[in-house]
Structure 1
Amino acid sequence: MTIEEILLGETKDIEFKEDIPPKSERYMKTVVAFTNCSGGRIVFGIENNTWRITGFNKEEVFRKMDAITNAIFDSCEPKITPNVNIQEIEGKYIIIVDLVEGMQKPYYIKKQGMVAGAYIRVSGTTRSAEKYQIQEMILDSGNRSYDQGKVDRELSDTDIELLCERFYHHALELCQTEEARRNLKRIGKNQLISYKLVIEEGDKCYATHGYQLLDGKLDEYPDAVIQCAVFKGTVRDLFITRKEFRGCIDEEIESAYAFVLEHIDLGARIDGLARQDIYELPIRSIREMISNAVCHRSYLTPGKVQVALFDDRLEVTSPGMLDSDLTLEKIRQGRSKIRNKGIAELFSYMNMIEAWGSGIPRIYEDSEKYGLPEPELLDMGNDFRVNLFRKKTEVDHYGVVDPRFLADSSVKYMTDYAVKTATKTAAKIETNATDATNATKHIAKENKIRNTPSSDEFKILNAVRADGYATQKQLHEMTGISLGTIKRLLPKMQEKGLLIRIGNRRSGSWKINE
């Protein structure tokens, strides 16, 4: 170590000790904590807080080195072998103990036992590991995933087929192109077995934690819900509205996604002769943030996924500590570690998450294209948070987005080309009414093809035709379509021009745009 490094003081992975404490447990907690996390360094011979080098003389330093090495080897379970060195600074000797992340977690002080003697590092301090954190470490050491753990619930082939059919239709709804819809294949029991969401033993099949979460059987998982809220201002003092979504976790995501879309600004842009709706935030990023929070959260850690909308930002919080190998910078660059491997595989099939590791970089990319401030990643110890910042969108008195609003063809924003095309088309309309009429008919035909209702949307339209004042729950009861799907489809049907909302969300009604 250099003098400059010492003067920086203690950090998350460096701790100073003036001397070897009489009771080794006083520093053994830190030894165990570093080994249970991403490793660290303990330096003996430096006074804490003042960073004054006290050091040891040449006669005693080797004896102290041996004492430290033996204490660590004898006190910890599984065995920890540190790398211990000495260094001379200003004529004094310091002892440097380097500890690497262990492969057999949890490590603990043998005398205290696993439950009481396991420690972790959080924000530069050493803390006792909670029981759920010990469970996480056991799973991580065995390269196992919580969602792939077997539960005592036998499944019939019919149970599995019905769930797979729902997965297929959900995936179909999220396909971006007709080609993708045509190429989408149904999944079945064998696929769920390969994802380890179903465990096959002999001629019987059993559910896993992941299967139950996707099936909405949440009695054992009270925190497997998404809390959504809109706050007035920029702090959590006064909320305007809030909802909690509970059920199949993939449908929870769609409900939370629809909640956000309902409460952010919606403008439009002119593309040629057509007017297209455009939200103030990149909707792809909104879905990615919520999907990642549900997919990568710890289902052992107490806490619920939270989606909070403030005047200046959208905030999505996911329960669970970051993996010890991950830093915020690595995450931003696209590094990821899948916490729930089976759920991640299925979410990928259903088009709910992008390629692994690409989600966060894409959120940064979309924010830049939208002209938004750079997103913020926060490691909050037991939680991980992503902030997507809002920016007032300039629109004219018709609600049309200012053409200067930053654009990119890949996400269908306004481009210089679109502005020029719109200008040329407008000039042509003034001089040639026939061409304008033909162009309008062509656009109408294209929109009609693009906006043809799906089978579920037809059911909703028939229900609205019968009762325009029906609530989302009543539409669910009238059509047999799941409530999560109803909440997801209604905003889409408005975007496609199939439905019009008259009045507010509480007392308004639906009108079919015929």
Structure 2
Amino acid sequence: MARDTLFSGESKNVEYKVTLPDKSEKYMKTIVAFANTQGGKLVVGIDDKTHEIVGVENEILFQVMDGIANAVSDSCMPQIIPDIEPQTVDGKTVIVVSVEAGKNRPYYLKSKGKENGTYIRVAGTSRQAFPEKIRELEMEGARISWDELTCVGYSVSDEATERLCQDIENFRKKAGMTEHSVKKEQLINWKILKQSEGQVMATNAYALLTSDYFPFSKTQCAVFKGTDRAVFLDKREFTGPIYAQIESAVDFVLRNIRLGARIDGLVRKEKYELPLEAIREMIINAHCHRNLLDESCIQVAVYDDRLEVTSPGGLYNGLTYEEVMNGHSKIRNKAIANIFSQMGLVEAWGSGIKRILNAAKEYGLLEPKFQEFDNMFRVELFRDSLPMTLENKNIGETSEKHRRNIGEASEKQETVDFNSTQLEILKLLMENNRLSAVKLAEKIGVASRNIENNIKKLKELDILVRHGSPKNGYWEVIDCSEKNDEDTE
């Protein structure tokens, strides 16, 4: 660890002690917590409040180091072997106790036992692990993936199996992968199904891929007014097979962000304000890497300034934030990850973060933000604050109306603010111009309030006009192409 990082303050991976406490348990919690998470360093001889380097007297230096080694050996289970060394800083000697992320988890204090003596690092503190976290640590230590375990009480049906196999084939075809028939035997090879004593049994992954059996397996989606969660504009909850949840969640986001269009010659090219690749990657990664022992749901939130995807569970099995950003990956849900790869949803291990970053950069957006909390991981993709534009290169004189509105120019640029919901509204009203907001909401699958807000926007843009009474009237959709022609005559 670089000097400026080690001595710039306490963090998730660094803790200071001005002197060793009389009771070793007070700092053994930190040693255990480092081993259970991403490793770290305990530095003795620095004031944790002022960051002043006090140092350890040379007369007692090796005595203190021996005491730390003995305390770790006597107090911790399974065995932790730290690296303990002196280091000179600004003419003073400190002791640096380095603990690696352990492989034989969970680590705990012998005196308290596993249930009460297991600790993890949260921000800059060591906290007692909750039962569900201890269970995950146990599975990490045993190299067991929860999604590969038998789902007791869940039956394997021919109908569900055939539908899953067919969906896998369809996804492969859509992804441009080599087409081949998927049968029950492949699901057994991929550890989606288990075979024992002539019986075929479901795994937890099979249940996740074929039903809404687990209450926590759902994707909660919402649109908020502004930049916080104070006011809902729309919210939906998707259940069922997790790959279907992914598709529904992506569609939800696309319905609630702007869709711009560019007229290039005679070709109209549509483009969302956020890169589709990044949206899909964020939601796929959330499902692929979530902690399935945590009963929280995946959340997808659209704000005025960003798209935010939050998944239960922090980084897995000692993986550090720096490693994630450099493309390293540790697979939490092996069966799900494998099936996503077979379906073409995952292209290359460890590439998800880079794909999101690259897609945002190509779009000219601010760099996405990645946050790890105690029990969740969040990705934020920032929206462009400027509205999308509809650009149309015209020929000949610019109309007087256009000059008044925009100014004399040889190239027309008309600001529009269409999102996917608005396009669906226009499409449905062109088919039936007497549909009410309630009916539109039912057909599109969004809240009535969302429809009303979008209709108001379309009316402001002079794209939608209401004729007659609210009860017996009808809608007129102004042809956008004709409107453009009028402006360029």
Regarding TM over 0.5, the answer is yes
Count of aligned pairs between the two proteins:
417
Query: CA 1:146 to 1:284, structure 2 compared with 1: closer, same or farther past 3 Å?
Result: same
Whole-Å Cα distance in 1 between the matches of residues 148 and 441 of structure 2?
33
Give me the TM-score of the superposition, normalised by structure 1: 0.72
- Determine if contact 1:312/1:390 at 8 Å carries over to the other structure: yes
Does 1:205 pair with 2:200? yes
Residue equivalent to 1:493: none
Query: CA 1:93 to 1:474, structure 2 compared with 1: closer, same or farther past 3 Å?
Result: closer
Give the alignment's Cα RMSD to 1 decimal. Answer: 3.5
- Determine if contact 1:18/1:45 at 8 Å carries over to the other structure: yes
Residue equivalent to 1:133: 133
Query: CA 1:357 to 1:64, structure 2 compared with 1: closer, same or farther past 3 Å?
Result: closer
Residue equivalent to 2:156: 155
Question: Helix, strand or coil for the counterpart of 2:112?
Answer: helix
Question: Helix, strand or coil for the counterpart of 1:151?
Answer: coil
> What are structure 1's unaligned runs of at least 5 residues?
404-418, 428-460, 477-482, 484-501, 510-514
Letter in 1 for 2:104: Q
Whole-Å Cα distance in 2 between the matches of residues 101 and 184 of structure 1?
41
- Determine if contact 2:42/2:97 at 8 Å carries over to the other structure: yes
Does 1:214 pair with 2:209? yes
Residue pairs, 1:82-101, within 5 angstroms: 82-87=82-87, 93-101=93-101
Larger proportion of helix: 1
Give me the TM-score of the superposition, normalised by structure 2: 0.76
Question: Helix, strand or coil for the counterpart of 1:111?
Answer: coil
Whole-Å Cα distance in 2 between the matches of residues 275 and 4 of structure 1?
53
Does 1:42 pair with 2:35? no
Q: Which of residues 306, 309, 322 in structure 1 aligns to 2:302?
A: 309
Whole-Å Cα distance in 2 between the matches of residues 227 and 354 of structure 1?
25
Residue equivalent to 2:78: 78
Whole-Å Cα distance in 2 between the matches of residues 115 and 89 of structure 1?
39
Residue equivalent to 1:109: 109
% identity of equivalent residues? 43
- Determine if contact 1:216/1:247 at 8 Å carries over to the other structure: yes
1:226-274 deviations in Å (ceiling 9; x for gaps): 1111111111111111111122111111111111111111222235533
- Determine if contact 1:82/1:99 at 8 Å carries over to the other structure: yes
Letter in 2 for 1:125: T
Query: CA 1:249 to 1:49, structure 2 compared with 1: closer, same or farther past 3 Å?
Result: same
Residue equivalent to 1:497: none
Letter in 2 for 1:61: L
Does 1:362 pair with 2:355? yes
Whole-Å Cα distance in 2 between the matches of residues 125 and 94 of structure 1?
21
Cα distance, 1:60 vs structure 2: 3.0
Does 1:227 pair with 2:228? no
Residue equivalent to 1:187: 182
Does 1:288 pair with 2:281? yes
Cα distance, 1:285 vs structure 2: 1.7
Query: CA 1:318 to 1:88, structure 2 compared with 1: closer, same or farther past 3 Å?
Result: closer
- Determine if contact 1:280/1:392 at 8 Å carries over to the other structure: no
Query: CA 1:198 to 1:232, structure 2 compared with 1: closer, same or farther past 3 Å?
Result: same
- Determine if contact 1:115/1:131 at 8 Å carries over to the other structure: yes
- Determine if contact 2:305/2:385 at 8 Å carries over to the other structure: no
Q: Which of residues 371, 376, 382 in structure 2 aligns to 1:378?
A: 371
Query: CA 1:142 to 1:6, structure 2 compared with 1: closer, same or farther past 3 Å?
Result: closer
Residue equivalent to 1:8: 8
Residue equivalent to 2:403: none
Question: Helix, strand or coil for the counterpart of 2:194?
Answer: strand
